[in-house]
Amino acid sequence: MSIVLSKEQLVYVQSFGKVILNACPGSGKTTTVAYKLDELIKNWELLFSKNSGILCLSFTNVAKNEIAEKFKEKNGFSLPYPHYILTIDSFVNSFITLPFAHKLKDIGKRYKIIDDISYLDKIFQSDWQLMKTYKSYLFSYKPSKIDYTINSGYSWDGHDKSDDLDFVKYAKEIKTRQINMGLLKTSDSAFLAYLILKKYPRIAKYIASKFPYLIIDEAQDTSEIQHSILELLYNQGLKNIDLVGDPYQCLYQWRDASPELFLQKFDDCENWKGLYLTENRRSTKKIIEVFSMLRRTTDKEIIPILDSEADLPLHVIKYDKTDYSEAISKYEKLCLDNNLSSNIILVRGNALKNSLLGKESDYFPWDKSSIAYKLIQSRIHLQSNEIKEAVKKIRRLIIELLIPGISFSDLKEKENELKNDKDSNSIIFKIVRDIPSFDLSLKEWTVKTQQYLKSELQLENMPDFKIRKKNVTKKGKITFDKTTLENSVNHYFKKAITENNFPITTIHQVKGMTFDSVFMILNDKNHKENITLNDFVLKEEMPTEKQRLIYVAISRPRNLLCIGVPKTMTDEKLKEFLNCEMLIL
């Protein structure tokens, strides 16, 4: 890979100190970070200690892997040791919390990170002692959603409830018991890491010397506690840090992500060097004009590299909320007429997606804790060549089948014991590979898979796949007999497909992706979970969570942007809310 960097990209690649890069959609952010890594490594021994390294962090595994792939594509080799590309959670867990949590509280065993937080609900909601005192709280405020706040208070589902004394008493009891068990969510791990670095500054000093250059990609998604961890590292000698992101693409506010903190640092000229990437290489000028309506007026204008009089304007397609087929057909014709091959229909949430596909596609008989769900998920990982993830999920499932009622701590120990066992991994791989085909009906697949597991694992009894209670109806049973598993799998684990093979998915699933065209369908009614035309109006300087979802969706296409609105919407109202060139169909 060899590209010519723009002036803005070169300024960032050659910058040092406390840098914050505000990168617009389509600006080549990931490629720019890969070039920055390359530039640093080439000059590393001239600038820093030989045994130290770069720490490049991102919010998700997908984003982390994309940076690693871009670096390898440019250089022909992976990022060498002692440099790391990790998720921010992995860094916090591996370098701070797990090695040093005993310094805060020694529980006589190693702390463990929970990857399935619903396990906490099972533990505490079945505890009779807790049930006597906190029965109403245990089910109204699930333990898995309780978190610490930066000031050692308590929140639930992202909402600070430190002023509610009864809730605080309940939350304190839950978190105390959880910590004593040695079980940590990633959010708990971040909070403990903050306390560790605050109480033991020499640990922060050690990390700052081990990693004298820190790059955080998708920095708009970092939480207040994660920002506080960074502050403690700065205070102990970390001189070079890059925060790279786009505050308008923050979709993880449910995990306490704080785009406002990103912008506060960007505006802090005394302590941070704020840089822009304003050149959009993805979308046409007419598309850029639409999503730019949701940006701050003080931000630099996005510069379109693609600008032609022949570019397609925004297309607004009206739909009948009882039958979306006509609107989808209009979109499909537009794509065919303009020879666009990479196209997608986007919605907010599964409810609207189900409406587009019809009620039948909403049928899925198992919840996420069921054996069937885990088997299907593992098989999909294998089909996607995510072999490590497929084997990991089946390994855990097999342990749970062979040792019913195993505790989480014992489960983790057993997993670690079997992780490097070649014979065990061979059996696990065979099981996931030979799961019965998805082209069977739900009923046939269930029977055959239950028999298959009983035989392969030599179980005494047939494993129970436990159909969801709400599906145990006369209509549900008929569907269970007739619906193929493949239809349900496509809907729940992959992108749902229209009759003409146009994928339908939710906005969260396409962050960071690019398409030739996008058709975003708005809801017809205002609701806290819905996105409507009203959400296009920027009432405050910083866009709301819904507006950031819109921003992500409509900044994905290269050539054609379509927006779906109900037929009851008048042309006058459309022009009032969408102040741009448009074609109404």
580 is in an annotated binding site: no
Distance of CA 406 to the CA centre of its chain: 29
The values of phi and psi at residue 489, to 5°, are -65, -45
23 is in an annotated binding site: yes
27 is in an annotated binding site: yes
Which H or E run includes 345? strand 343-347
Question: 159 pairs with which residues across the strands?
Answer: 156
Cβ proximity of 455 and 435 under 8 Å: no
Write the DSSP symbol of residue 97.
I
For residues 430 and 445, give the distance between their C-alpha atoms in angstroms, rounded to a whole number.
18
Distance of CA 536 to the CA centre of its chain: 24
Structure tokens at 33: 């970070």
28 is in an annotated binding site: yes
Side chain identity at residue 136, one-letter code: S
Angle at 189 between CA 87 and CA 59, to 5 degrees: 20
30 is in an annotated binding site: yes
Q: What is the DSSP string of 30-76?
A: HHHHHHHHHHHHHTHHHHS-TT--EEEEESSHHHHHHHHHHHHHHHS
- Output the CA torsion sign for 521, 515, 331, 543: positive
Structure tokens at 363: 């049928």
245 is in an annotated binding site: no
- Output the CA torsion sign for 454, 457, 460, 464: negative
405 is in an annotated binding site: no
Q: Which residue numbers belong to the known binding site for ATP?
A: 23-30
Q: Which residue numbers belong to the known binding site?
A: 23-30
